[in-house]
Amino acid sequence: MLFVTKENMPCKYPGKVIAQEYGHPELAGGFVRAAMRRRGILALVEREGLIKTDDKLKLIHPRPRP
């Protein structure tokens, strides 16, 4: 069982790495805005087990996303 704690918010560090890798310093500042709501979720393992491709899941989300 997984307990979702929060959305994985973007940070500035990956933007700096991307900007350096491609040689475009202007990319660093745009990463946070471009990655918003695209980085997945953070979760804790509450109970050990195997999740297989065809397993049925139940997702309980306490608040709707805007």
Question: Number of folded domains in the chain?
Answer: 1
pTM: 0.48
Q: Among candidates 33, 2, 1, which has minimal Cα distance to 15? A: 33
Q: Residues 2-57: pLDDT tens digits?
A: 888 888 877 888 888 989 999 998 888 888 888 888 888 888 888 898 989 999 88
Distance, CA of 51 to CA of 55 (rounded, Å): 7
> Could you tell me the CATH number of the domain that includes residue 31?
2.40.33.20
Per the structure, the complete domain to which residue 40 belongs is given by 1-66
Task: Answer yes or no: are the C-beta atoms of 24 and 58 closer than 8 Å.
Answer: no
**Is the pLDDT higher at 56 or at 59?**
56
Q: What is the pLDDT of residue 54?
A: 94
